A and B are shown apart, each in its own frame.
Chain A
Amino acid sequence: MNKIRKINALSVGMALLVGVALPAYAASDKLTVVVTDEPKSLDPCDTDLSGNSRVMHNNITEALVNLSPKDGSVVPSLATSWRQVDSLTWEFKLREGVTFHDGKVFDAQAVVAALKRGQDPSLACEVGLATLKGIKLTAEAVNPTTLRIKTDVVEPILPNKMSALDIGSPATPGDGKTRAPAGTGPYKLAAWTPGQSVTLTAYDGYWGDKPPIKHATIIWRAESAVRAAMVDTGEAQIAYEIAPQDGTTGQDHAFPNAETSLLRIDAQVPPLNDKRVREALNLAIDRDGLVGTVFHKDAQKAMQVVPPSVFGFNPDIPVWTYDPKKAKALLAAAKADGVPVDKEIVIYGRIGIYPNSSESLEAIQAMLADAGFNARLEMLETSPWLKRLLKPWEKERQPSILQTQIDNTEGDAVFTLPNRFTSDGNQSTIADAKLDKLIADASKSTGDERKKMFQEAFRYIAVDAVNIAPLFHMVTIARVAKNVNYTVDVQAGNEIKLRTVSYR
């Protein structure tokens, strides 16, 4: 009897412990999202970086326009319409009746201030350093709802670029970054507890539809297994970047993340300066063998460095077949002509650039060895990897191929090509006057002409220049709780669309 009493007391004790101590999980207007890392900044001018953008963009702050996840086309947000006045001037009509979370009114002056701030070199804003790099934009408020932006060079896709500039309140400090952003979005920042969480609450004065979720918390955990477990236990409702080995349940949704994995070939150093060797390298890789094993089964074999959703994608470039026999023949032919094909080639990988990054290169190294290459694998941490990725490089260097992946969520080829494939590009291993001109001309043109020229540039890189071994258009996995309505799309890497989330 005593024993039974003890067991009963223990059960009650455990129940109390669980009931009292465990956090109050999923309530109908509360949502917790778990990501991999804490945002680096919550300043509106830093949303060009995906970790910041996920928390900020279209949650706290908004841009003049958005890009459609379906086809990358420009759609209205804080601007309702836009037109090109002349080759160097664009005009935007702004939405009326919009207020910032701090009560300030959204108008053309606010955009002028945000643009000035984003391009201020002393602030080193992400948007100024990346999307708006190399172009001088001068904004002028014609009246509170009309904004004109002048450019110093022809900029046919200025509206696309404006999707990267989130507009913060005019009260945002001009002499430093803010940790307490005020935007126009459906959520305002409630708290940022460093090292722990960011909490958002719905903004009652939002101009659009009110979001079903009133309180959202964004937390970060480095371990994929822990992120996945948090959805199982109800501690979180959405978890991103679930590793393939953890993402095997019905709640795990794989979606294209606009990243393309590839090996960048240093085509300036022998034996890789010989096109036959670079072709052999591509033919030696068994892409079908990699997908569904070290790469996710939904990854698509790539033939160029942008996914099909990007303007300028060329659907007619043939995907490399796996042909080790032909690869060996090409190497033999190159050797016969005196090309030093036996020279050691280093494969530089980056630890954790994507799930199974080391394993994928180990497999590729073995495939290259089978075809007759003398390849050595070196896995690097991010900092030394960046030294290999970015110029300047030593003149006397070992022949190498570099594991990388390129994302293009902006929807236009111009965000990918110049830096990576022109003579002046800070990551370019190719210096080809013809390609330089093609990319420069395409960047200035519009419509079909632009599309055709970019398609030709992608064809030239893949077929004529062959300084890349494209691998896959990548997917990532998100785990979503069964009682939550949320559709992941190609932009999920940069944007948690909290306002689209609801409980079933």
Chain B
Amino acid sequence: MSFTYFLKRAAFAALALAALMTSAFFLVRLTGDPVDLYLPVDASSAAREAMRVRLGLDASLPVQFLDWAWDMIRLDFGMSLWHNRPAMDVVLEALPNTLALGAIALTLAFVAAIVIGSIAAVNAGGWIDRGVNVLSQAAASVPDFWLGLMGVLLFAVTFRILPTSGFGGPIYWVLPIACLFARPFGTLVQIVRGSMIEALNATFVRTARAKGARDGRVTFVHALRNALLPAVTVTGDLAAQFAGGGGVVEVVFGFPGIGKLLIDGILKRDFAIVQASIFAVAVVIFFINILVDMLYASIDPRVRVE
């Protein structure tokens, strides 16, 4: 991948980011007034108006937009209303936790899906395949929050081998990772299985077998490399979703990630937090996309990242 390619992608990403942030500016302001939520219900209308002036919400929308755009150019995301701290500081505390959680869950799901999906494809139509099919369909469709609560009941309350929730050493990561693992695992197993069956029936695999290549080599080198591309594409999409936070899983386990921060930010109309979170997540997604392109090129030599 050349530097010029990277610059070109970055320029397109900057344009997309500007459009995204502009829509975020207008959309969050459409959702309601933060002052009503922030002040006690007994606060007088004069106090509400004073707060609006203090937050610059009394100005017309175009004026607010220009002020905001100037702040964005200087990467000044402002103060979080509810956290009473610079919004980007709050976001940058939460983002690494979410990225680590997502990266671990997705890597495990990807690796496990390749192994299980390939085994199912090799035994297509057999009882192993049928078992994998049921398991993966269930994993792909089980709701996160239910899995989370069941995990707490089983492993924390009944067996007492894991903590219910919280944040700290590796043991606190087990249940959130297990919950986030399920859905991508289920989805990827289906994809790997499908594309592996297709690859195993392809002419180049027949040729490889005809040449006398061993079964394992045919499956995991010849066929798998070709079957991986759709799985990488979907994993890229899943990674982009995970960058936006583990949502419900973070809420259930009290995991201080960006998903919970963003949900709270939206519910409390904390504009600065919502905007800073969207910006940070968009930048991460840009890098994930570059990474996926590079992976593509390294898996399939026909693809050139140009």
Q: Using an 8 Å CB-CB cutoff, how does the interface string of A19-34 with B read, 1 for contact, 0 for none?
A: 0011100000000000
Contact of A382 among B84, B85, B167, B267 (CB under 8 A): B267
Query: When chains A and B are docked, how far (Å) is the Cα of A152 from the Cα of B65?
Result: 42
A53-61, A100-108, A383-391, A480-488: which lies at the B interface?
Answer: A383-391
Give 7 A-B pairs besides A23-B168, A226-B254, A383-B33 with Cβ atoms closer than 8 angstroms: A21-B171, A129-B47, A177-B84, A233-B163, A381-B267, A386-B36, A386-B37
Are A195 and B37 within 8 A (Cβ)? Answer: no
Is the CB of B94 closer than 8 A to any CB of chain A? Answer: yes
Is the CB of B181 closer than 8 A to any CB of chain A? Answer: no
Q: Using an 8 Å CB-CB cutoff, how does the interface string of B164-178 with A read, 1 for contact, 0 for none?
A: 111111110000000
Q: Using an 8 Å CB-CB cutoff, how does the interface string of A409-435 with B read, 1 for contact, 0 for none?
A: 000000000010000001100000000
Are B41 and A427 within 8 A (Cβ)? Answer: yes
Are B157 and A22 within 8 A (Cβ)? Answer: no
B148-156, B282-290, B295-303: which lies at the A interface?
Answer: B148-156
A residues 229-244 near B (Cβ < 8 Å) are 229-230, 232-233, 235
Q: Can you list 7 contacts pairing A with B, beta carbon distance less than 8 Å?
A: A23-B166, A48-B40, A124-B54, A194-B90, A225-B152, A226-B252, A386-B37
A124 contacts which chain B residues (CB < 8 A)?
39, 47, 50-51, 54
Are B171 and A40 within 8 A (Cβ)? Answer: no
A222 contacts which chain B residues (CB < 8 A)?
251-252, 254
Are B84 and A179 within 8 A (Cβ)? Answer: yes
Q: Using an 8 Å CB-CB cutoff, how does the interface string of A425-447 with B read, 1 for contact, 0 for none?
A: 01100000000000000000000
Residues of B participating in the A interface, judged by any CB pair closer than 8 Å = 31-33, 36-37, 39-45, 47, 50-51, 54, 82-85, 90, 93-94, 149, 152-153, 156-157, 160-171, 251-254, 256, 260-261, 267, 269
Is the CB of A134 closer than 8 A to any CB of chain B? Answer: yes
Query: When chains A and B are docked, how far (Å) is the Cα of A383 from the Cα of B169?
Result: 37
A229 contacts which chain B residues (CB < 8 A)?
152-153, 156-157, 164
Query: When chains A and B are docked, how far (Å) is the Cα of A129 from the Cα of B149?
Result: 39
Are A230 and B42 within 8 A (Cβ)? Answer: no
A427 contacts which chain B residues (CB < 8 A)?
41
Q: Using an 8 Å CB-CB cutoff, how does the interface string of A301-318 with B read, 1 for contact, 0 for none?
A: 000000000000000000
Are A232 and B40 within 8 A (Cβ)? Answer: no
Contact of B171 among A22, A130, A382, A426 (CB under 8 A): A22
Whole-angstrom distance between the Cβ of B110 and the nearest chain A Cβ: 25
Are A230 and B84 within 8 A (Cβ)? Answer: no
Whole-angstrom distance between the Cβ of A382 and the nearest chain B Cβ: 6
A48 contacts which chain B residues (CB < 8 A)?
40
B85 contacts which chain A residues (CB < 8 A)?
179, 194
Whole-angstrom distance between the Cβ of A117 and the nearest chain B Cβ: 15
Whole-angstrom distance between the Cβ of A309 and the nearest chain B Cβ: 20
A391 contacts which chain B residues (CB < 8 A)?
45
A179 contacts which chain B residues (CB < 8 A)?
84-85
A382 contacts which chain B residues (CB < 8 A)?
37, 267
A21 contacts which chain B residues (CB < 8 A)?
169-171
Contact of A226 among B47, B149, B170 (CB under 8 A): B149
Query: When chains A and B are docked, how far (Å) is the Cα of A225 from the Cα of B156?
Result: 12
B83 contacts which chain A residues (CB < 8 A)?
194
A7 contacts which chain B residues (CB < 8 A)?
none
Q: How many residues of A contact B (CB 8 A)?
A: 47
Are A226 and B93 within 8 A (Cβ)? Answer: no
Residues of A participating in the B interface, judged by any CB pair closer than 8 Å = 14, 17-18, 21-23, 40-41, 48-49, 121-122, 124, 126, 129-130, 133-134, 177, 179, 194-196, 219-223, 225-226, 229-230, 232-233, 235, 381-384, 386-387, 389-391, 419, 426-427
Are A121 and B165 within 8 A (Cβ)? Answer: no
Query: When chains A and B are docked, how far (Å) is the Cα of A343 from the Cα of B166?
Result: 51
Whole-angstrom distance between the Cβ of A476 and the nearest chain B Cβ: 19
Query: When chains A and B are docked, how far (Å) is the Cα of A18 from the Cα of B160?
Result: 8
Query: When chains A and B are docked, how far (Å) is the Cα of A483 from the Cα of B166?
Result: 23
Instruction: Name which residue of chain A comes closest to B156, CB basis.
Output: A233
Task: Evaluate whether A426 and B149 lie within 8 angstroms (CB atoms) in the complex, with A194-B90, A235-B163 already known.
Answer: no
A122 contacts which chain B residues (CB < 8 A)?
54
A223 contacts which chain B residues (CB < 8 A)?
149, 251-252
Contact of A233 among B41, B164, B167 (CB under 8 A): B164
Whole-angstrom distance between the Cβ of B150 and the nearest chain A Cβ: 10
A-B contact count (CB 8 A): 127
Task: Evaluate whether A225 and B149 lie within 8 angstroms (CB atoms) in the complex, with A383-B32, A386-B37 already known.
Answer: yes
B84 contacts which chain A residues (CB < 8 A)?
41, 177, 179
Query: When chains A and B are docked, how far (Å) is the Cα of A195 from the Cα of B253?
Result: 12
Query: When chains A and B are docked, how far (Å) is the Cα of A226 from the Cα of B47?
Result: 38
Whole-angstrom distance between the Cβ of A173 and the nearest chain B Cβ: 12
Query: When chains A and B are docked, how far (Å) is the Cα of A48 from the Cα of B156?
Result: 36
Whole-angstrom distance between the Cβ of A403 and the nearest chain B Cβ: 14
Query: When chains A and B are docked, how far (Å) is the Cα of A381 from the Cα of B266?
Result: 11
Query: When chains A and B are docked, how far (Å) is the Cα of A216 from the Cα of B185?
Result: 40
Task: Evaluate whether A219 and B166 lie within 8 angstroms (CB atoms) in the complex, with A226-B253, A383-B32 already known.
Answer: yes
Whole-angstrom distance between the Cβ of A174 and the nearest chain B Cβ: 16
A195 contacts which chain B residues (CB < 8 A)?
93-94, 167, 256, 260-261
Are A419 and B42 within 8 A (Cβ)? Answer: yes
Query: When chains A and B are docked, how far (Å) is the Cα of A121 from the Cα of B164?
Result: 43
B157 contacts which chain A residues (CB < 8 A)?
229, 232-233
**Most chain-A Cβ atoms within 10 A of its Cβ — which of B50, B83, B84?**
B84
Whole-angstrom distance between the Cβ of B219 and the nearest chain A Cβ: 30
Are A220 and B254 within 8 A (Cβ)? Answer: yes
Query: When chains A and B are docked, how far (Å) is the Cα of A121 from the Cα of B43?
Result: 12
Whole-angstrom distance between the Cβ of B104 and the nearest chain A Cβ: 17
Whole-angstrom distance between the Cβ of B257 and the nearest chain A Cβ: 9
Query: When chains A and B are docked, how far (Å) is the Cα of A194 from the Cα of B80?
Result: 13
Are B36 and A129 within 8 A (Cβ)? Answer: no
B251 contacts which chain A residues (CB < 8 A)?
222-223
Query: When chains A and B are docked, how far (Å) is the Cα of A348 from the Cα of B43?
Result: 22
Query: When chains A and B are docked, how far (Å) is the Cα of A40 from the Cα of B267?
Result: 14
Instruction: Name which residue of chain B comes closest to A382, CB basis.
Output: B37
Instruction: Name which residue of chain A comes closest to B34, CB basis.
Output: A383
A18 contacts which chain B residues (CB < 8 A)?
160-161
Query: When chains A and B are docked, how far (Å) is the Cα of A14 from the Cα of B54?
Result: 56
Task: Evaluate whether A221 and B47 lie within 8 angstroms (CB atoms) in the complex, with A21-B171, A383-B36, A386-B37 already known.
Answer: no
Query: When chains A and B are docked, how far (Å) is the Cα of A14 from the Cα of B169?
Result: 16
Instruction: Name which residue of chain A comes closest to B83, CB basis.
Output: A194
Query: When chains A and B are docked, how far (Å) is the Cα of A222 from the Cα of B251?
Result: 6
Task: Evaluate whether A133 and B43 lie within 8 angstroms (CB atoms) in the complex, with A194-B93, A232-B157, A233-B164 already known.
Answer: yes
Whole-angstrom distance between the Cβ of B178 and the nearest chain A Cβ: 15
Are B33 and A221 within 8 A (Cβ)? Answer: no
B161 contacts which chain A residues (CB < 8 A)?
14, 17-18, 22
Query: When chains A and B are docked, how far (Å) is the Cα of A134 from the Cα of B44?
Result: 8
A194 contacts which chain B residues (CB < 8 A)?
83, 85, 90, 93, 256
Whole-angstrom distance between the Cβ of B40 and the nearest chain A Cβ: 4
Task: Evaluate whether A387 and B170 lie within 8 angstroms (CB atoms) in the complex, with A48-B40, A177-B84 already known.
Answer: no
Are A121 and B50 within 8 A (Cβ)? Answer: yes
**Most chain-A Cβ atoms within 10 A of its Cβ — which of B32, B149, B165, B168?**
B165
Instruction: Name which residue of chain A comes closest to B32, CB basis.
Output: A383
B261 contacts which chain A residues (CB < 8 A)?
195
**Most chain-A Cβ atoms within 10 A of its Cβ — which of B42, B162, B254, B256?**
B42
